């Protein structure tokens, strides 16, 4: 192939310089003038009598204009996909863009005995002094590209095991192939432990210059599981320049989100979107935190803007669906979330939100179907199986709920939400000691993040811990946890009634009456508080003597002096009774 290029005459019979024509094609591609590139690339193919280099760049220009079948036919009709790896890769990529997965896979799996020569003609066209080290690195990068495409095809075909293997291979062949790493992490194809093993196995020392090793490793490590790390990742001193890098800031915001520090997460995402309003990494996180903070107006504005600008991207319709979910309008929420999953079937956040739209409406079967789909797409994420367990718990299937909670605990053993749900299952099984331990572990994980982020989301945890302590007859501790829950959510009637019940068990009926009254003051139809209040009042009435011993210091009744001739009153000299209109009261 190198001989073919060197044999090409630079000056053609028509007087056009072929080298300048090729440079013009590259220049139009660099300037995104793809139609011009297609026009002149076609002429270069004719002038060079079909040199592979010119055919390849002609196909490349066709690909960039979206003429995928035309580009593939150009390469395959000349059988270049069987002899040159770049041509084979480009032809397969064309069919991948057309969602013709099996055809793309058949093309890319063709045997190629001359793949090592393929990069030679590309490099020689750009730099005649290509040395062997550059050649081997280019060949290695081409193999990485092919394996990356294989992984994307298998993932689109729902074969996530093979997709994971090829992504790993692509990343090991080219440590800088971020797309392979991002698909493994962002699509939750690995567990937290598997991600750590992957990071440790990458050949940083062999492929990265010494001055870049720490940087590349830090940037990759910064993208790993956030919900499994309660602390923050400090930026090394030598990498302080990346403190204001937007990707690093978004990763930090995601840690705050998973740690339930929604205010700090919102502050960071809001700041990032001011600098880069359509940051694709930040937008889903910003939408999620807007839902948590119930900022419906801001989410409404963002959704309209995204739909206007990016109607073909799933994040736009995900945002619209989340808005309707936030305002409790579930039917349009499902419709728009379905559109998001149609545009990108592997868009995990939309599947989770779609499940939530059914869960809040008590439609457990549909919710579990959405969560099961999300669990297949997000193997390394514990949230889908956690929500499946919640739905089974709501349908009183505690055994299946416990199975899925245990699976979520295996994926994310440090997540307080999972620990809390394991405690709930233990409580329902009347294993109060185990339940108390799970609740205490969850509370410890919450507190180890920061003392300032114990928000109302954890009110349920404190109340459940208090219920467990009550079952274990630890009434003082139960009151302390209930009182703390009141500081998080001061207007929760169930907490007041629970405190009243603890006081009943402690024999302090008067305090119990006070708390039952407070619960009924917030929710008048609270049946538990009404029943308990009536029973406590009956006990108090039964235990109280109507007229007990009169104390000596009770003041005596003093009569008012009245005229003796008053028509209404007459005093008898030998009695203390007062006659009033012919009647007498003792």
pLDDT in tens, 177-206: 999 999 999 888 888 888 889 999 999 988
**Location of structure tokens 């492929």:** 207
**How far, CA to CA in Å, does 423 sit from each of 127, 277, 426, 432, 482?**
66, 42, 5, 9, 17
Contact between 355 and 374 (Cβ < 8 Å): yes
**Location of structure tokens 């060197």:** 6
Contact between 506 and 475 (Cβ < 8 Å): yes
Q: Give the torsion sign (CA, 521, 527, 528, 534).
A: positive
- Nearest in space to 271 (alpha carbons), one of 255, 284, 257, 282: 282
Q: Are strands 578-580 and 583-585 parallel, antiparallel or unpaired?
A: antiparallel
What is the DSSP annotation of 69-131? HHHHHHHHTTTGGGT-HHHHHHHHHHHHHTT-HHHHHHHHTS--TTHHHHHHHHHHHH-TT--
CA dihedral defined by 420, 455, 503, 524, rounded to 10 degrees? -110
**What is the Cα–Cα distance from 253 to 391, expressed in whole angstroms?**
29
C-alpha of 13 from chain center: 62
pLDDT score for 232? 52
Contact between 385 and 408 (Cβ < 8 Å): yes
Which tens digit of pLDDT belongs to each residue from 129-181? Answer: 333 333 334 677 889 999 999 999 999 998 999 999 999 999 999 999 999 99
pLDDT score for 567? 41
**What is the Cα–Cα distance from 406 to 193, expressed in whole angstroms?**
16
Domain ranges across the chain: 18-113+138-259, 367-543
pLDDT score for 272? 95
What is the DSSP annotation of 129-158? T--HHHHHHHHHHHHHHHHHHHHHHHHHTT
pLDDT score for 323? 96
Contact between 482 and 499 (Cβ < 8 Å): yes
**How far, CA to CA in Å, does 536 sit from each of 115, 504, 512, 522?**
87, 8, 8, 19
Contact between 122 and 139 (Cβ < 8 Å): no
Q: 18-113+138-259 has which fold?
A: 1.25.40
Which tens digit of pLDDT belongs to each residue from 391-439? Answer: 998 888 888 999 999 999 888 888 888 999 999 999 988 999 999 999 9
**Location of structure tokens 């937290």:** 192
pLDDT score for 15? 55
Work out the end-to-end distance of the chain between its first and last CA atoms, rounded to an integer number of angstroms. Answer: 128
18-113+138-259 against 367-543: fold identical = yes
C-alpha of 230 from chain center: 16
Per-residue pLDDT of the chain (586 residues; tens, 9 = 90+): 333 443 344 555 555 688 899 999 999 999 999 999 999 999 999 999 889 999 999 999 999 999 999 999 999 999 999 989 999 999 999 999 999 999 999 999 875 444 444 444 444 443 433 333 333 346 778 899 999 999 999 999 989 999 999 999 999 999 999 999 999 998 888 888 888 899 999 999 888 888 888 889 888 988 887 665 545 556 777 777 888 889 989 988 888 888 777 888 999 999 999 999 999 999 999 999 999 999 999 999 999 999 999 999 999 999 999 999 999 999 999 999 999 999 998 899 999 999 999 999 889 999 999 999 999 888 888 899 999 999 998 888 888 999 999 999 888 888 888 999 999 999 988 999 999 999 999 988 887 765 555 567 788 999 999 999 999 999 999 999 999 999 888 888 999 999 999 999 998 988 999 999 999 999 888 889 899 889 888 888 887 656 555 555 545 445 444 444 444 333 333 434 333 333 434 3
- pTM: predicted TM-score of the whole model, two decimal places: 0.80
SS3 185: helix
Task: Name the burial class of residue 229, with classes exposed (0-12), middle (13-18) and buried (19+) by CB atoms within 10 angstroms of its CB.
Answer: middle
Tokens of 281: 């990494």
pLDDT score for 170? 95
Tokens of 259: 């740690």
Tokens of 214: 């720490």
Q: 367-543 has which fold?
A: 1.25.40
pLDDT score for 78? 93
Q: Which helix (H) or strand (E) holds 203?
A: none
pLDDT score for 233? 55
């Amino acid at each position: 192939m190198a001989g073919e290029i060197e044999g090409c005459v630079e000056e053609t019979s028509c007087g056009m310089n072929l080298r300048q024509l090729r440079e013009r094609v590259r220049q139009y591609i660099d300037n995104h003038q793809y139609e011009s590139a297609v026009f002149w690339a076609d002429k270069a193919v004719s002038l060079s009598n079909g040199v592979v280099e010119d055919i390849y760049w002609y196909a490349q220009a066709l690909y960039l204009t979206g003429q995928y079948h035309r580009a593939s036919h150009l390469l395959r009709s000349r059988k270049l996909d069987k002899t040159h790896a770049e041509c084979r890769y480009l032809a397969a990529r064309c069919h991948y863009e057309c969602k013709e997965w099996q055809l793309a896979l058949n093309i890319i799996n063709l045997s190629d005995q001359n793949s090592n020569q393929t990069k030679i003609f590309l490099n020689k066209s750009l730099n005649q002094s290509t040395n062997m080290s550059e050649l081997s690195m280019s060949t290695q990068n081409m193999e990485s590209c092919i394996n990356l495409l294989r992984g994307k095809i298998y993932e689109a075909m729902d074969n996530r095991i093979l997709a994971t293997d090829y992504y790993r291979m692509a990343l090991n062949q080219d440590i800088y192939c971020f797309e392979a790493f991002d698909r493994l992490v962002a699509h939750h194809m690995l567990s937290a432990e598997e991600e750590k093993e992957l990071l440790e196995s990458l050949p940083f020392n062999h492929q990265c210059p010494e001055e870049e090793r720490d940087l590349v490793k830090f940037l990759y490590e910064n993208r790993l599981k956030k919900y499994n790390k309660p602390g923050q990742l400090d930026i090394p001193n030598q990498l302080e320049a990346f403190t204001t890098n937007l990707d690093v800031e978004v990763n930090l915001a995601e840690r705050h989100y998973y740690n339930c520090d929604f205010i700090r997460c919102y502050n960071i995402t809001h700041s990032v979107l001011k600098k880069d309003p359509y940051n694709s990494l930040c937008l889903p996180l910003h939408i999620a935190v807007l839902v948590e903070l119930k900022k419906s107006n801001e989410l409404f504005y963002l959704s309209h803007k995204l739909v206007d600008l990016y109607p073909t991207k799933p994040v736009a319709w995900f945002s619209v669906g989340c808005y309707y979910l936030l305002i409790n309008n579930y039917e349009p929420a499902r419709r728009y979330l379905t559109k998001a999953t149609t545009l990108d079937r592997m868009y995990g956040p939309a599947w989770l939100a779609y499940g939530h739209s059914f869960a809040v409406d008590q439609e457990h079967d549909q919710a579990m179907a959405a969560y099961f789909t999300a669990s297949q797409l997000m193997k390394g994420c514990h949230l889908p199986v956690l929500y499946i367990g919640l739905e089974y718990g709501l349908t009183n299937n505690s055994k299946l709920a416990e199975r899925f909670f245990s699976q979520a605990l295996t994926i994310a053993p440090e997540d307080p939400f999972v620990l809390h749900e394991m405690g709930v299952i233990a409580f329902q099984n009347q294993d109060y000691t185990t339940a108390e331990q799970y609740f205490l572990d969850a509370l410890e994980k919450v507190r180890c993040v920061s003392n300032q982020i114990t928000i109302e989301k954890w009110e349920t945890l404190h109340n459940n811990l208090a219920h467990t302590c009550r079952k274990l007859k630890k009434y003082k501790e139960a009151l302390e946890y209930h009182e703390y829950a009141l500081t998080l959510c001061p207007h929760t009637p169930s907490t007041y009634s629970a405190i009243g019940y603890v006081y009943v068990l402690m024999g302090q009926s008067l305090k119990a009456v006070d708390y039952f009254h407070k619960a009924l003051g917030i929710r008048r139809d609270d049946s538990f508080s009404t029943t308990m209040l009536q029973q406590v009042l009956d006990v108090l009435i039964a235990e109280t003597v109507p007229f007990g011993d009169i104390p000596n210091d009770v003041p005596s009744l003093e009569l008012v002096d009245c005229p003796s001739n008053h028509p209404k009153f007459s005093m008898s000299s030998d009695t203390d009774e007062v006659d009033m209109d012919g009647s007498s009261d003792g």
